[in-house]
Structure 1
Amino acid sequence: MGVAIRRAGEGDREALTRLLDEGFYHDPVSTWIFPDPERRRRHHGTMMGAFLDAALADGYVDMTEDGSGVALWFSMPGPDAAGAADAAVDGGAQGGHGEDAGRAAARALREAVDPDNERVEQISLILDANHPADRPHEYLMLIAVSPDQRGRGVGAALINSTLERCDREGRYAYLEASSVRSSRLYERLGFHLDSRTVDLPDGPRMLPMWREPRPRTAG
């Protein structure tokens, strides 16, 4: 039986925030950001909600019809488009730089989630600084599946719904695996480890992964 998938909207926010909170609560990156369990209990869900809001506003969110799985995606431009956008910003009367915008966004995330926790800001800056800009791609920021549905192909179905479009349009896909175990799951979907890693200060190692578009077969 296939997994029914649809595009999420604002009306799904509360349920999907809970799903993301549950799915990432014990993730190595989440425990690095919130090493204190009590602080994590109070602020982790707020951070997941902020990530979800960003995807709803500037990307897109796929979910299963039964609400058991969710994937947050962003369509990232190539170097030509990014350069044109930066030039347009710099040409304004109060022009700024993409780096300044990234720092402002990271500060805003920290203020919204946990103002006294510098790691909320750090994770945004680190991922932004290490995010590749050499080719257009679809970026899988987060994916979560409810515990009772894991191992049933829900996550693969969510990812494949976008990967099929990547193959049709000749687009790359990119993500950062937060553990070797999760990277092996992504390898089954055609992702390959990058030559570099993203090492969080005194924390876990994240593993960037790429997937090249697959040629469509005739017939």
Structure 2
Amino acid sequence: MGVAIRTARGSDRELVVRLLDEAFQDDPVSGWVFPGEEYRRRTHHRLMAAFTDAVLADGRIDLTEDGAACALWLSVPGGEEPGDGQDDVPVLVREAVDPENERVELIARLTDGIHPSDRAHEYLWMIGVAPDRQGEGLGTALIESVLDRCDREGVPAYLEASSGRSRELYERLGFEFTGRALDLPDGPTMWPMWREPRRCA
């Protein structure tokens, strides 16, 4: 049986923020940005809210009909990076989320610095699955729905894996490590991954 997927609306904002907050509480990168369990519990949701607002404005959020998983996508035109032509987005995000935490700004700058900019592509910014629903294939279904369209339209896709487990999932879906890892200062590794479109039969 397939997974029912719809496009999130503004009225889904709080659901998406809560879902991302729960899904990424134990993520290595979230733990680096917000060190300490209590601090992360108090503050992490603000960053997820900033991401959600950005993608609701400029991209698309796919949501399973039961609200257990979501994927945040941006269509990136060739020759541009997310944030091109805008104000200093990392600074604005830090000010809105946690002004005293320089890592909020740093993670945005570091990921922008490794983001490929020469070809148009679909960028999977984040994907979150409720902790008690992980392992059911919801994340795979969300990603495959977009990759099927990428294959039909001849568009590549890009993401940064934030854990070894997620990297393995993405590899099964056809993503390949670009060869240039991002080692966060005194923190975990992120793996930029690219997927060329597959020929449709």
Report the TM-score when normalising by structure 2: 0.95
> Equivalent residues in 2 for 1:112-191 (5 A)?
112-191=96-175
The structure with more radius of gyration:
1
Q: Which residue of 1 aligns with 2:63?
A: 63
Which string of whole-angstrom CA distances, capped at 9 and with x for unpartnered residues, describes residues 66-120 of structure 1? 00110000001112xx39xxxxxxxxxxxxx948x46x11111001100110000
Partner amino acid, structure 2, of 1:67: G
1:49 aligns with 2:49: yes
**Contact residue 32 and residue 187 of structure 2 kept, 8 A:** yes
Q: What is the rounded CA distance, in whole Å, between the counterparts of 1:38 and 1:25 in structure 2? A: 11
Residue 111 of structure 1, aligned match among 73, 95, 112:
95
Counterpart CA distance in 1 for 2:58 and 2:122 is 13
Deviation, 1:163, is: 0.4
Aligned to 2:11: 11
* DSSP-derived class of the 1:71 partner: strand
Aligned ranges for residues 24-103 of structure 1 at < 5 Å? Answer: 24-79=24-79, 82=80, 98=84, 101=86
1:2 aligned residue? 2
Question: Distance in 2 between the 1:185 and 1:200 partners?
Answer: 22
TM-score, normalised with respect to structure 1:
0.88
- How many pairs are equivalent? 200
Tell me the distance in 2 between the aligned counterparts of 1:154 and 1:203: 28
- 1:199 is displaced (CA, Å) by 1.4
Task: Quote the Cα distance in structure 2 between the aligned partners of 1:41 and 1:149.
Answer: 20
Q: Give 1 or 2: higher helix fraction.
A: 1
**What is the CA-CA distance between 1:37 and the residue it aligns to?**
2.3
Per the alignment, residue 93 of structure 1 pairs with none
Alpha-carbon displacement from aligned partner over 1:101-142 (angstroms, at most 9, x marks no partner): 46x111110011001100001011111111110211100010
Q: What is residue 203 of structure 1 aligned with on the other side?
A: 187
Which sections of structure 1, spanning at least 5 residues, go unmatched? 84-96
Partner of 2:199: 215
Q: Secondary structure at the match of 1:126?
A: helix
Structure-2 separation of matches of 1:47 and 1:13: 13
* Per-residue deviation, 1:147: 2.1
Query: Secondary structure of the residue that 2:198 maps to in structure 1?
Result: coil
Contact 2:114 2:192 in 1 (8 A): no
In structure 1, C-alpha distance between the alignment counterparts of 2:33 and 2:62, rounded to whole Å: 26
